[in-house]
Amino acid sequence: MDDKNKVEQVVLMGLVTVLGATVTVYTAVAALVVSAAAAIFVCGIGPFLRQTDTMTPAIRWSILIAVGFAVSWILGSIAPWILPIPERAQLFLRISGLMPIIFHADAARVSGTTDWKTESLRSWIIFGMVVLATGLLREVLGRGTIAGFLLFSGWAIPADFFSSPVGAFIVPATVILLARVYTSLQGERSGAVS
């Protein structure tokens, strides 16, 4: 990776979820809940999988991947019964347990990062904000609704491309770019001060 920007790292770790499961606010909420549940399960099982002769890192990671997938598949299949989720987004809910963000906390813990809990929590707060903001932006601009309710008066014409793949890519790209600009400005400011 070229940049150590935290927001950029988090967006990339959850990229497929951010792209595929943010077409509406409800979908984004479901994606966040499913991802968080998968991450909690993975984090809970991780400490029991200590490295031994038989438990190689590859086997350990395979088990963690399978656990993350099982949780997201089950919850992703239940979600459409609870919330109105578009059919195309269901696949992304079901595979959201396979995204690197799910394994981020366990990887930080295993690597011996001292403040892994704070770091992981920070990453998850950023991820939650990005997913929810993307869902809100894409639904408001792409459909002219919030959580399915019309907000605008008759003259507002939704920009359809925001709910299409084009809009899905534009939002995280803009988030990463803004995060980089912000980090760069911060760097310039602190450089100017010192």
Partner 1 sequence: MTETTRLFFDSLLIQNPVFMTFVGALMVTVLPPSARRSFTPAARYGVVFFFSMLTGGVFSLAVGELIAPVVYISVALIAIVLLRLWGELRRDWLGMPAMVLAAAPLVGLQVMVAGQGEFSLVVASAGGYALGFFAAFLIIGGIREASRMTEARDLFKTNPVILFSMALIALALAGFLFW
**Per DSSP, what are the bridge partners of residue 150?**
145
Name the one range near partner 1 by CB under 8 A: 27-35, 45-53, 149-157, 163-171: 163-171
**Dihedral sign computed on CA atoms, order 169, 174, 177, 179:** negative
Q: Is 8 in the site for partner 1 (CB under 8 A)?
A: yes
Is beta strand 145-146 parallel, antiparallel or unpaired with respect to 149-150? Answer: antiparallel
Q: Are the C-beta atoms of 93 and 68 separated by less than 8 Å?
A: no
Instruction: Rule CB under 8 A: choose which of 94, 130, 135, 138 binds partner 1.
Output: 94
Q: Is 6 in the site for partner 1 (CB under 8 A)?
A: no
Q: Is 1 in the site for partner 1 (CB under 8 A)?
A: yes
Distance CA 151, CA 157 (A): 12
User: What part of residues 143-162 is at the interface with partner 1 (CB under 8 A)?
Assistant: 161
Phi, psi (rounded to 5 degrees) for 149 = -100, 135
Contact positions toward partner 1, by CB under 8 A? Answer: 1-3, 8-9, 12-13, 15-16, 19-20, 57-58, 61-62, 65-66, 69-70, 73, 91-92, 94-95, 98-100, 103-104, 107-108, 111, 161, 164-170, 172-174, 176-177, 180-181, 183-184
